[in-house]
Amino acid sequence: FSAMAEQLVLNADAALDINTGKLIKPATLVIEDNKIVSLSKSNRKAYAPDAKVMELKGYTLLPGLFDMHVHLTSDAQVHGYKRLQRTTQRSAITGVRNAKRTLEAGFTSVRNLGAPGYADIALKDAIKDGDVPGPRIFAAGPSLGVTGGHCDNNLLTHEHAVTSQGVADGPWAVRAKVRENIKYGADVIKFCATGGVLSKGTKVGAQQYSQEEMTAIVDEAHLRGLTVAAHAHGTDGIKSAIKAGVNSVEHVSFVDDEAIQLALEKGTYFSMDIYNTEYILSEGKKAGILEESLNKERKVGSRQRASFTKAVKAGVNMVFASDAGVYPHGDNGHQFSRMVKFGMTELQALQAATINAATLLKQQNALGSLDAGKFADVIAVKGNPLENISTMEQVDLVIKDGKVEVNLMK
């Protein structure tokens, strides 16, 4: 080992090799500065005598988790008309709170799929600068959408003339919007391909952008080296988005066999928020979700779960995605047990939240596993998540970029 670098060593009952699903037992993970230098069966010779050693009895080490669909600047208690009273500035401060909660839940990376006023990019920068704690953020900025669509704001009458920042109609207008988002710091592009549950007056199954517009968005984003996420519940919109070449489809509720086949051919990822429905239906009314949206959710929730099962069985690439912000940040890990209940093995659910997510973000060489050379994003949970997935709901140690961010060990 290098003479000067400070080493942090984690001795744990086990560590998960996320690629093979094998547990290394007992395990020694050595971190130098912000990188993993080795993971092996426990071995005192693996680290320097003056290393800082943490003994994690009863714990399993895992790579830091990814949630591929969050809205950090959104508050789950504030929906519908209540949201009209939130300024971008107020939302950014909500984001500070939510970033901390997300990190405490073991999620060291997130993809933030839409925020007005580039508040997600401000938050990302503040975390990077060390001003506030939080995960690595891959931020979209304002989501693109058609006039009156799911990514517009349709709560007020025409006299108030409110239009969301990401609204653009027509192939050149959407290209200009992609360029604008890149100009102000976006890492990924998000657009709304179909109607949605939580928007006023949109049909959840109906396509919104035309094929021509979706193709223009994806072409422009890919030209500039960004990946694209498409919100799509309805079957036609899912297919058009996949044909346009999006990297991931969000929600994917009304998927059919043909769309699954297309996704398999193209390598498209499905990013399905199957926990969300429980919160919307139980707490949504109190939070201000419109009756119209609750009615849509009653049709979408169970159908989406059936689609999830189908997609898993077919072998579609899947990532962990919660849409936290609709439901409370910090509860992200509760989705793992639902992913297992609706068809994944425990290992598949964990891969969806680590190596698959890193690969979707083109970060597979830097993040997503405990392999030597990667950034040291590491978490510890009590027990064995391969046997009991609900262990993922309580993360006691979180290390991000080699730094201990959360330590609840006694």
Does position 326 interact with ligand ARG (CB under 6 A)? The reply is: yes
Catalytic-residue membership of 323: yes
Applying CB under 6 A, does 248 fall inside the site for ligand ARG?
A: no
Task: In angstroms, give the least distance from the CB of 144 to ligand ARG.
Answer: 15
C-alpha 12/C-alpha 118 separation (Å) is 40
Q: Return the number of the residue (152 or 323) whose C-beta is nearest ligand ARG.
A: 323
Name the phi and psi angles at 11, rounded to 5.
Answer: -100, 115
362, amino acid identity:
K
In the set 323, 374, 377, 400, the catalytic residue is: 323
Distance CA 352, CA 263 (A): 16
196 is an interface residue for ligand ARG by CB under 6 A: yes
Tell me how far CA of residue 398 lies from CA of 195, 222, 377, in angstroms. 37, 33, 8
User: Which residues, listed in sequence order, are joined to residue 249 by a DSSP beta bridge?
Assistant: 230, 270
Contact status: 325 vs ligand ARG (CB under 6 A): no
Nearest to 201 by CA among 291, 287, 282: 291
Structural tokens at position 230: 């498409």
249: contact with ligand ARG by CB under 6 A: no
Q: State the residue number with the nearest CB to ligand ARG.
A: 196
E runs forming strands in 18-122: 22-24, 27-32, 35-41, 52-63, 65-70, 107-112
Q: From CA 409, how far away is CA 345, in angstroms rounded?
A: 28
Interface region with ligand ARG, contact rule CB under 6 A, candidates 114-122, 239-247, 294-302, 366-374:
294-302
Q: Residue 165 corresponds to which amino acid?
A: Q
Nearer to ligand ARG, 297 or 377 (CB): 297
Q: Does 346 bind ligand ARG (CB under 6 A)?
A: no
198 sits near ligand ARG (criterion: CB under 6 A): yes
Least Å distance between CB 300 and ligand ARG?
4
Annotate each residue in 201-240 with x if it binds ligand ARG (CB under 6 A) or - if it does not, as one string: ----------------------------------------
Residue 303, φ and ψ in degrees, nearest 5: -65, -40
Residues belonging to the active site: 190, 323
- The contact set with ligand ARG (CB under 6 A) reads 196-198, 251, 273, 276-277, 280, 297, 300-301, 304, 323, 326
